[in-house]
Structure 1
Amino acid sequence: MKPTRFETAIALIDKANSEDINTYTLAGIDYPKELLYSQRMTRKLLQFNPDASKALQIAARAQHICRWKIARGEYPMDRVGYLKWRETLKKMHADLTADILKQVGYDDEFVDRIRKIILKKLIKKNEESQALEDTICLVFLDYYFEEFAAKHPDEKVIDILQKTWIKMSDEGQQEALKLKFSEKSLALVKQALA
């Protein structure tokens, strides 16, 4: 049976992400970092939002596509440099995804919809952009938070938690509270939300 356009698009996103030079070790196995991240995005999105549209599923899978190609060090190591880096990345992610979608035959309207989701346009007004933001936050909290918290002072961790919380919808926040945290992390979460 011939794969659908959707399946082909996901496979091409995965192929691009499998070229990541950075690895993430899980249970003794090295994975291309962004490939693992994108698969976690899909898993978390479908747990949180089982009826997610195909557009939202593609946006979630491609949210960090080829992220390693623009290094953080290419921008000044301050807040302004960080924000500029993030904006440049979002545009690259949207452009690469649009190219893949056109390649597999999606029309401009569908491609544009996914671009807007990845660029997180009108985040609190566009349901799909908000669902993507919630998924990003949930993936961070579920898979990467403990590691992040271990490397940074508590004040910074609390600040990041507060910034993460503000970006989420009420549903996303409720979902986050169901995650399993270590005792130390849970204490930091409670401090951040106090």
Structure 2
Amino acid sequence: MKKIEIAFAAIDAANRHDPDLREGEPAAWLYGQRMSAECDRLFPNASEALQIAARGQHIERWVLKRQDFPEGRAGYLTWRTTLAKHHATRVGEIMQDAGYDSQDVDRAQKMIRKEGIKRDPEVQALEDVICFTFLKWYFAPFAPSQDPAKLDRIVTKTALKMSEDGRARVLEEFDLPEALAVHFQV
């Protein structure tokens, strides 16, 4: 078995324990599968570190619950930062166990923590994968529950995180209403 297959199997096994079932599957496991599919589609020549970062980006997300952090934006950001560190640590442990060297482990962890977004091509690639996965699989069920002004802010923030190439692909691949599509124009 190849190192990447060992890493994927370990990430999948961990994510199979997610108690949140979506579409009959553990939510974190399903998200990892979708992230891998989008990574393969958008970046067919991705490094193994990027492929593993995509698969493990939300590993064990359920272990750190939002309600265990303070209310408001500061609490939310603390939760997200703490989650990213947890995800990076767990993926690093899995990669080490699979036989990856410290350089590959560090690369994947840096991507998961989003260190160098807009400056590091692989960190940016992972962010584009995250945004495409959100738009393709999670946006439509999420959108009706949001106030239109808040939804517009979320779409704006999503577009701003993406690369120019990523935003252009969104316009090619998604039939967005003009009010939302305008955010992705380059």
Instruction: Report deviation, 1:152.
Output: 0.7
- After TM superposition, the score normalised by the length of structure 2 is 0.95
**Contact 2:171–2:181 (CA under 8 A) maintained in structure 1:** no
Match in the other structure for 1:84:
78
Instruction: Report deviation, 1:69.
Output: 0.4
Match in the other structure for 1:24:
22
- The yes-or-no answer on 1:176 pairing with 2:176 is no
Match for residue 65 of structure 1 among 39, 45, 59? 59
Distance of 1:193 and 1:138 partners within structure 2: 12
Please state whether the residue corresponding to 1:90 is helix, strand or coil. Answer: helix
| Structure 1 residues 39 and 24: CA distance shift in structure 2, 3 A | same
Structure 1 stretches lacking a partner, 5+ long: none
Structure 2 stretches lacking a partner, 5+ long: none
**Contact 1:48–1:175 (CA under 8 A) maintained in structure 2:** no
- The yes-or-no answer on 1:115 pairing with 2:109 is yes
Instruction: Report deviation, 1:187.
Output: 4.3
> What root-mean-square deviation, in Å, do the aligned CA atoms of Structure 1 and Structure 2 show?
1.4
1:5-154 equivalences under 5 Å are: 5-25=3-23, 30-154=24-148
The superposition leaves residues 64-97 of structure 1 with CA deviations (integer Å, 9 ceiling, x where unpaired) of 0000000010111201001000000000000001
Task: Give the length in aligned residue pairs.
Answer: 185
- After TM superposition, the score normalised by the length of structure 1 is 0.91
The superposition leaves residues 82-136 of structure 1 with CA deviations (integer Å, 9 ceiling, x where unpaired) of 1000000000000001111111111111111111111111111111000000110
The superposition leaves residues 35-60 of structure 1 with CA deviations (integer Å, 9 ceiling, x where unpaired) of 11011001111111111111100000
**Contact 2:11–2:55 (CA under 8 A) maintained in structure 1:** yes
**Contact 2:170–2:184 (CA under 8 A) maintained in structure 1:** no
Distance of 1:139 and 1:164 partners within structure 2: 11
Please state whether the residue corresponding to 1:177 is helix, strand or coil. Answer: helix
Distance of 1:126 and 1:190 partners within structure 2: 26
Structure 1 segments of 4+ aligned residues over 3 angstroms from their partners: 190-194
**Contact 1:159–1:192 (CA under 8 A) maintained in structure 2:** no
| Structure 1 residues 104 and 77: CA distance shift in structure 2, 3 A | same
Instruction: Report deviation, 1:188.
Output: 4.2
The alignment-based identity, stated in percent, is 42
Instruction: Report deviation, 1:173.
Output: 0.4
